[in-house]
Amino acid sequence: MSLELQDVSQVVDGLLQIAPTDLVLEKGTMNVLLGPTSSGKTSLMRLMAGLDKPSTGRIFSSGVDVTHQRVQQRNVAMVYQEFINYPGMTVYDNIASPLRLQGQTKVDVDRQVRATAEMLKLTPVLQRRPLDLSGGQQQRCALARALVKGAELVLLDEPLANLDYKLREELRAEIPRIFEQAGSIFVYATTEPEEALLLGGNTAALWEGQVTQFGSTLSVYRQPETLTTARVFSDPPINSIVVTKTADTLSLNDGAVLGVPNQWAVLSDDTYTLGFRAHHLKILSPETVEQASQAFQLRCTVVAIEVTGSETFLHLRYGELIWVAITPGLQKMAVGDAVDVWLDVAQLFLFDGVGCLVADGDGVI
């Protein structure tokens, strides 16, 4: 089974919700839709499910045009971030409900319910009602009801957003295992880059209704094709600064001049945007001076400090810009302190004037 979107777009009341999109999702794959709130994730899922009709383009399921098929005619299941279960039914009956609607025998229903419950660790609570369960168990119940249908396409719209941290971590670890056993096409929407990395598979980065890049999750993260994709796949948002290349120097907007790395020497003289993630902005210490000598070194001012326990988020001012650095442990500094930072060239991205990636730490693209 495959799902293919060909030039699919959606316009609502004259406003473009989904830009023309081409995507191919294969059977047995985990596909993450990553983007901020209102970037188009749910709209794209509704088009995939058949809940909405595209304004242009066609949708194919295993080569069959299903563009105008209603959702009831498609083998699709959807799980939302709210716990949508039947409160008057037991967990067993919740999971069994789609099978009974299909007219399956009592023996077949029982076999599939128990197998799915075992996979989702719900066997001990099959006779309870959803309101007697924890949040994680309620969401697993909703997921079990979706999976037991044997749907070829399973859509998960931020299913963990309403859970506390511990439950989110528990289910994040379980979902890849569940998906491997089910063998369906999974599409998982999230606003969190970390969640996309944990789930693996493929990722489509979305920004203002446009898929800016689609590919294996690690490749999209490690080599974003545009500055927009880098922003989508960075939390905190990617730091950046405009630089001007002239011969063998890079000039910054405050007048600082840096040497052009050897791997970027062949780039034409022009204005570029240098991008770097928060955990790649390092604070100078005696142990890192030697390392820093092989990288860009800049002086910033601390404007805010956030301590999470295992990490410290430093908000740094450089000229008119505010950057964020993530450092391990507790940093002994105060607001207003001047700090030296360094950027390892191997961890930098360089984008041209229209935001396309032209070079990274390995060299010119």
Query: Where is 232: in which H helix or E strand?
Result: helix 227-232
Torsions phi, psi of 268, nearest 5? -70, 155
- Identify which has the larger pLDDT, 255 or 205: 205
Question: What was the pLDDT predicted at 268?
Answer: 96
- Going by C-beta distance under 8 Å and a sequence separation of 6 or more, which residues neighbour residue 352? 270, 272, 273, 358
d(CA 201, CA 216): 6
Going from the C-alpha of 20 to that of each of 58, 205, 255, 312, the distances in angstroms are 11, 14, 42, 41
> Does residue 204 share a domain with residue 89?
yes
- Identify which has the larger pLDDT, 356 or 178: 356
What distance, in Å, lies between the first and last C-alpha atoms of the chain?
34
Q: What is the CATH number of the domain that holds 117?
A: 3.40.50.300
> Does residue 354 share a domain with residue 257?
yes
- Would you say 223 and 256 are in contact if contact means Cβ atoms under 8 Å apart? no
Question: Is 158 within a domain?
Answer: yes
Does the pLDDT value for residue 292 go beyond 90?
A: no
Does the pLDDT value for residue 131 go beyond 60?
A: yes
Question: What was the pLDDT predicted at 140?
Answer: 85
Question: Is 234 within a domain?
Answer: no
Q: Which residues of 58-74 are buried (b: 16+ CB within 10 A; e: fewer)?
A: ebebeeeebbeeeeeeb
Does the pLDDT value for residue 107 go beyond 80?
A: yes
Q: Which residues of 11-43 are buried (b: 16+ CB within 10 A; e: fewer)?
A: eeeeeebbbbbebebeeebbbbbbbeeebbbbb
- Identify which has the larger pLDDT, 159 or 294: 159
> Does residue 337 share a domain with residue 189?
no
Count other Cβ atoms within 10 Å, centred on residue 54.
20
Q: What is the CATH number of the domain that holds 342?
A: 2.40.50.140
Does the pLDDT value for residue 114 go beyond 90?
A: yes
Going from the C-alpha of 320 to that of each of 31, 252, 254, 300, 323, the distances in angstroms are 38, 12, 9, 11, 10
Q: How many domains does the chain have?
A: 2
> Does residue 114 share a domain with residue 35?
yes
> What is the domain extent for residue 256?
239-364
d(CA 30, CA 179): 7
- Identify which has the larger pLDDT, 181 or 273: 273
> Does residue 286 share a domain with residue 194?
no
Q: Report DSSP letters for 124-187, one per residue.
A: GGTTS-GGGS-HHHHHHHHHHHHHHTT-SEEEEESTTTTS-HHHHHHHHHHHHHHHHHH-SEEE
Q: Which of 202, 227, 252 is the last residue of a domain?
A: 227
Question: Is 233 within a domain?
Answer: no
Specify the 3-state DSSP secondary structure of 60: strand
> Does residue 150 share a domain with residue 37?
yes
Q: Give the best-scoring range by mean pLDDT among 68-72, 219-223, 289-293, 341-345.
A: 219-223
Does the pLDDT value for residue 88 go beyond 90?
A: yes
β-strands 202-207, 311-318 pairing: unpaired
Q: pLDDT tens digits, residue range 227-252?
A: 999 999 999 999 999 999 999 999 99
- Would you say 192 and 81 are in contact if contact means Cβ atoms under 8 Å apart? no
Q: pLDDT tens digits, residue range 91-100?
A: 999 999 999 9
- Going by C-beta distance under 8 Å and a sequence separation of 6 or more, which residues neighbour residue 231? 207, 237, 238
> Does residue 143 share a domain with residue 195?
yes
Torsions phi, psi of 163, nearest 5? -95, 155
Q: Which of 195, 227, 259 is the last residue of a domain?
A: 227
Question: What was the pLDDT predicted at 123?
Answer: 95
> Does residue 132 share a domain with residue 95?
yes
249-252 sheet: strands from edge to edge: 257-259, 249-252, 239-246, 271-276, 349-351, 357-360, 363-364
Does the pLDDT value for residue 287 go beyond 70?
A: no
Question: Is 293 within a domain?
Answer: yes
Work out the mean pLDDT of the chain and round it to a whole number: 90
Question: Is 232 within a domain?
Answer: no
What is the pLDDT confidence band of residue 291, given thresholds at 50, 70 and 90?
A: low
Length of the chain: 365
> Does residue 287 share a domain with residue 199?
no
d(CA 365, CA 361): 10
- DSSP assignment, residue 334? -
Beta bridge partners of 326: 313
Does the pLDDT value for residue 169 go beyond 70?
A: yes
Question: What was the pLDDT predicted at 293?
Answer: 52
Q: Select from 1, 13, 12 the least CA-distant residue to 66.
A: 1
Question: What was the pLDDT predicted at 288?
Answer: 57
> Does residue 346 share a domain with residue 257?
yes
User: What pTM, to 2 d.p., does this model score?
Assistant: 0.89
> Does residue 179 share a domain with residue 56?
yes
> Does residue 291 share a domain with residue 217?
no
